[in-house]
């Protein structure tokens, strides 16, 4: 799986968009469908992010 900046992943009613991608870390924005204007930015390691989106689908493919 290749990660790119601005990718959008959907898991249930939650959407994850990669905001900043670095060698070992990912900063993403998590947005609920019920509140599309809100959301929060979270910084995790790539390994943690991949575990988070394990059953998610990539938007646009």
Residue 3 lies in a domain: no
CA angle 48, 36, 1 (to 5 degrees): 30
Residue 54 lies in a domain: yes
Distance between CA 35 and CA 24 in Å, rounded?
30
User: 27 is in which domain, residue-wise?
Assistant: 8-58
So what's the pLDDT on residue 61?
Answer: 66
Residue 2 lies in a domain: no
Residue 17 lies in a domain: yes
Number of domains in the chain: 1
| Contact between residue 52 and residue 12 where contact means Cβ atoms under 8 Å apart | no
Question: Cα 55 to chain center, whole Å?
Answer: 12
So what's the pLDDT on residue 44?
Answer: 98
Q: What is the pLDDT of residues 10-50, one digit of tens each?
A: 999 899 999 999 999 999 999 987 776 778 899 999 999 99
Residue 46 lies in a domain: yes
């Amino acid at each position: 799986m290749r990660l790119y900046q601005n990718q959008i992943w959907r898991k249930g009613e939650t959407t994850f968009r990669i905001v900043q991608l670095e060698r070992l870390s990912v900063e993403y924005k998590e947005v609920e469908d019920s509140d599309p204007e809100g959301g929060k930015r979270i910084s995790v390691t790539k390994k943690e992010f991949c575990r988070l989106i394990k059953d998610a689908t990539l938007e646009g493919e």
